[in-house]
Amino acid sequence: MALLERIESDIKSAQKASAAERLSTLRLVLAQLQNRKIELRRELEEAEVEQILQKEIKKRKEAVALYEQGNRPELAAKETAEIGIIAEYLPPPLSMAEVESAVKEIAASGEKDFGQVMRLAKEKLGERVDGKELSLIVKKVISS
């Protein structure tokens, strides 16, 4: 089942189960997906849907940091719960060991330029790794 169809199906399930938080989160995500679909004037591909979900998670992570700085733990907890709901629709992120081994493999092929290694690693790993974490690992591998 495609991600978009799965989200729509889960919205119906959340309505039946009266799961208000899950329902509101999925509706917001679906709205973002529909907006992007209208913007592109075509159906979204799976990779594009995953990218939008990643972006939504990133927005919520930033909000959590701001709420924690502003001493608003109840709002931070709400955003964290939304992250968990959205993350259910994404493939599991790669472990640090998997990312490091992929970067070492790229560096072993003779590539030592930071930008080139980052580009190749992003192509190989896709959206399953955070850019900041990838950057730290690439710096560590290149410097050693």
All structural domains of the chain with their residue ranges: 3-87, 96-143
CA distance linking residue 51 with residue 126, whole number of Å:
10
Q: Identify the residue with better confidence: 127 or 34.
A: 34
Tell whether domain 3-87 is in CATH 2.60.260.20: no
**SS3 breakdown of the chain: % helix, strand, coil, rounded to 5?**
80, 0, 20
CA distance linking residue 60 with residue 77, whole number of Å:
11
pLDDT tens readout for residues 52-93: 999 999 999 999 999 999 999 999 999 999 999 999 999 888
pLDDT tens readout for residues 94-113: 888 999 999 999 888 887 88
Nearest in space to 25 (alpha carbons), one of 82, 99, 109:
82
